Structure 1
Amino acid sequence: MSQHPAVTFRSAAVVLALALGAATPAAADAAPRSRPGDAVRSALDELAGGGEFAGALAAVREPGGRGRDYTAGVGDLATRAKVPVNGQVRIASTTKTFTAAVVLQLAGEGKVELDAPVERYLPRLVRGNGHDGRLITVRQLLQHTSGLPDHSKAIPGTFFDNRHRYFEPRELVDLALTQQPLFPPGKGWSYSNTGYVLLGLLVQKVTGRPIGAEITDRIITPLGLGDTYWPNPGEQRIRGAHPRAYKSRTGEPGGEPVDVSEMDPSRGWAAGQLVSTPRDVNRFLGALLGGRLLKPAMLEQMKRTVPVPGAPRGWGYGLGLTKISLSCGGLAWGHSGDVGGYSTRGGVTEGGRSATVTATEKSLTAEGDKRLDRFLDTALCAGQRPAAGQALR
């Protein structure tokens, strides 16, 4: 699901950070050789060579559509196979931007009102233990200002205990509601996967169709995201070529890396279930911020941000979208995603350059988060002069 800043706020967390790799035609089936002075290539090699990540894959897309792929490190610790170019990965909380886009499409169609209470669409679902869906709006779910606690903190056992377990969406909501609200609706900010599970249920109630089908028909198919899919119930394997995902058995640096590539993604659902590739995430973000998916008024709403405690200066969270201040000046928009073994950062600049990177974890630390963010900044700023006084913290 995702949480990060310094840029995720790993436990209370926001999202996105940026990271990625350079430019070869999108049809290329092999990563390009390193070029002298290629800052992105060097940054990805450094990211994968620091001991915290087994491997990494990235893609950069220029405004005109031309792109370059990068890989570094090892894709399989057992066989020492290379990282597949543009391999499929679990993008975790980057799914939230897809879910938010569907909700905003429905708002643009007059089927959802952003400032209406959740109760209107999901009667009596958010009740008890201090929670009241009559006081929480759709906008607050989208922006993590609802005060709803994260269900992941209420799931008994460890990640390894629940790795293959299937969770119903309603079960995730019920787990969250066993906890007290974090603050009154609209009076704070706290990253909540639960809010996006509720948004998935809202979409299903309004459309009468599964959230995965709505994301597929409204976004994946129209944009031609051929390597992106919503896993079926109980589907635990990634369908295409992919780097193996690893997680420290102890959760600490230096712990035994366990292959967790196969897992049930249902604990993320509308907050984090999608499988995609760096190229597809770039294409999605470019289309979204380029106005191909939302009406102008809805895109403006999506980019209306609130401050996030602990985030770098200039950052903020909109409706399923993070605003990022770049070291070279200007802004980027995107989202991060972290789930068992995969850490993804992606963003698109206001000029239309997009970059996405995924690293396969051994153990993710605060310093690892920062390194991923710095890489994304490098990828989005490559070839541009740093702005005076600007720096990615």
Structure 2
Amino acid sequence: MDRLVAALERHRESGIVGAAAAVVVGDEVAWWGGVGSLDHDRDEPVTVTTSFPIQSVTKPLVAAALVQQMHAGAFALDDRVNRYLEPVRVTNPWEQSSPITIRQLFTHTAGLPATFASGGAPTLEEAVATEIGAAVEPGTAMVYANTGYDALGYLLQRVTGSDWDVAVRDIVLSPLGMHATGAGDARADARHRATGHIWSAAEGRTVTVMGVPSAYAAPSGSMVSNVEDLARFLVAMLNEGGGVLAAEAVASMQRLHAPLGSGFGGMGLGLRVDHRRERRFFCHGGDGAGFTAFVGGHPGERVGVVLLMNTGGADVARSNLVRVALECVLDGTGRTAYATAAASSPRASRYRSTFWNVRAEVTVGDGMPELTVPAGTISFDEGVSRLAPAGSRWFADGGVFDGWELEFASDSDGRPCFSGGVYPYLFRADDTPIIGLPHNVDTTADVGGAWVGTADTPFGPLPLGVEVDAGARRVTVDIMGMTEADTAADADGGWVRGEVPFDVPGVGPITVFVRLGVIGGRLEGLLYARTQFGEFGIPTTLSRSTG
């Protein structure tokens, strides 16, 4: 495991505050360990018993409990979910013709948007009743939707008669000996709990984030665990339930239930399922509030990886560490004799994902194609993947997709697209410019006055207004009717730089770092929006107001 240890140290030196990992082979842990510290201000080491918020790795734990109930006869996958939730209902304008099924909630095909419940509801029941609903017809698209798993957690409550986290404890955690795992702070010893961090591109330093407060623990991502416990869960997943969970339930979770693209990858039940180097693979990632997590492996070879990091936006590190860990216990870089040739080559284009509006660009030069994902939305550093043929797909070497195989194709409209990765990412060609920090700023431009346009947020475009009073060093930002100002801004030489605080209902405090410059008569660049969930670089383009 020397390569893995070296890789962990390398990523620690490049920005990861702390990390713990385990490698499972067969029904045993072949290696585990930690690097770095619990908090960048305290020199206390991370170990395999350090508690981390595991974010969306909560989902497979909830799924494991629910699928156990399904195999005991509590419900069927294609039942209408509202049948079990009544009088509470998941809103669905297509309920008569296309009711939301339990399978669709598991596989992110229920038509729900890629947003979060606001956290303002006092209970999970009220959140399901008032904040979760289909935005498109169920069954027509796969969009990763956290709120679908909140609805599944409420379903677990209804079929067991217990709070969802109690049901997960009784059905999954306690039988597997996962006694350090629970919802929120229930099982976390504060002395040995990691603090969340992000690399702030706005400030050029590591900062602490505390998480978004909520009145209830969300089944989509509120559990705390450690590497020792998650290794026990992974052993069960790699060994037909390990004699504790029902083998048929584990097999159901790892089976493809909703394809992503035309290939053999997609969603299982609470798990992303795919192939890597022609080996079956399952996994789930976790991201947010200053943490990055992973659990997954190859069930045929019975090898897998657990990875927990107390730094958010560490997608490049996660992909690389998982790849290195698996290569340590498999035969080098895996099988290379593919049965089929690539069906479609990567098309040079800019792309946009259906999940969080992530931008990417494929370039095709004299050598192999390259895929670039700019820093900002899912990764704190830019990721460049070199693409090589891998049977019917393309193997990504380096970057956000390091170790993954991507499928390039065309959608029903003939538009180039590609899919793959730790989440069910689907990218479609979108040639609108990818806006980053401004270059070639017109340093003679007058930035004063009112500017209007849009901010390209992870959840879609939002109208935005910026008013600059350069003489008074005042920058006022208007987002969705909320207006705040920075009275010590820098607005000179074609640049506008400021730090504007907002307090958003249901979200809490947000600081908007303005980093815009005049290019070709427009004001463009990035707004860095920092919440207690993380920091997102939001591409922004504004024109002078004519009103």
Q: In which range does the TM-score fall when normalised by the shorter chain? A: 0.7 to 0.9
Q: Does 1:385 align with 2:340?
A: no
CA distance, structure 2, for counterparts of residue 376 and residue 314 of structure 1 = 21
Aligned pairs for 1:344-363 within 5 A: 344-350=293-299, 351-361=301-311
SS in 2 for 1:81: strand
- How far residue 108 of structure 1 moved from its aligned partner, in angstroms, is 0.8
How far apart, in 2, do the equivalents of 1:228 and 1:240 lie? 15
Structure number with bigger Rg: 2
Q: Does 1:198 align with 2:151?
A: yes
Higher strand share: 2
Going from structure 1 to structure 2, the CA distance change for 1:326 and 1:282 (only over 3 Å counts) comes to: farther
| Distance in 1, Cα, partners of 2:59 & 2:111 | 17
Question: Aligned partners of 1:274 and 1:127: how far apart in 2?
Answer: 23
Larger % of helix: which?
1
How many corresponding residue pairs?
A: 334
TM-score w.r.t. the length of structure 2 is 0.55
Counterpart selection for 1:187 from 131, 140, 151: 140
- CA distance in 1 between partners of 2:306 and 2:204 (Å): 27
2:113 equivalent among 144, 149, 169: 149
Deviation at 1:151, TM superposition (A): 4.5
Cα shift at 1:254: 2.5
CA offsets per residue over residues 94-149 of structure 1, 9 Å max, x none?
11111111111111111111110012101253355736397000111111110112
Partners of 1:129 and 1:109 in 2: how far apart?
28
Partner of 1:31: none
Percentage identity across paired residues of the two chains:
26
CA deviation map 1:6-58 (0-9, x unaligned): xxxxxxxxxxxxxxxx5xxxxxxxxxxxxxxx11111111222222x212111
| Contact 1:58–1:71 (CA under 8 A) maintained in structure 2 | yes
Judged with a 3 Å threshold, the aligned counterparts in structure 2 of structure 1 residues 252 and 369 are, in CA distance, closer, same or farther, namely farther
Match of 1:373 among 316, 319, 327: 319
List gaps (5 residues or longer) in structure 2. Answer: 337-389, 397-402, 405-547
The one-letter code sitting in structure 2 at the alignment partner of 1:81 is: E
TM-aligned CA distance change 1:266 to 1:294, over 3 Å: farther
1:243 is aligned to 194
Name the structure, 1 or 2, with higher relative contact order (CA <8 Å, separation 6+).
1
Which residue identity does 2:79 align to in structure 1? Answer: A
1:176 is matched with which residue: 128, 131, 143?
A: 131
Selected match of 2:288 from 339, 351, 360: 339
CA RMSD of superposed structures (Å): 3.0
Alpha carbons of structure 1 residues 128 and 221: separation in structure 2 relative to 1, 3 Å: closer
What amino acid is aligned across from residue 348 of structure 1 in structure 2? G
Q: 2:52 matched to which residue of 1?
A: 89
Once residues 254 and 237 of structure 1 are traced to their aligned partners in structure 2, the CA distance between those partners, rounded to angstroms, is 31
Q: What CA deviation, in whole Å up to 9, does each residue of 1:250-290 have, x standing for no partner? A: 67572550242x76466661111211111211210221342
1:194 alignment partner AA: T
Contact 1:71 1:84 in 2 (8 A): yes
1:207 matched to 2:160? The reply is: yes
Amino acid in structure 1 at the alignment position of 2:35: A
User: What is the rounded CA distance, in whole Å, between the counterparts of 1:68 and 1:86 in structure 2?
Assistant: 14
Match of 1:273 among 215, 222, 240: 222
Range with greater deviation from structure 2 (211-220 or 57-66) = 57-66
Alignment CA distance shift 1:295-1:80 (3 Å): closer
Structure 2 CA distance for partners of 1:96 and 1:128, relative to 1, 3 Å: closer
1:307 counterpart = 2:263: no
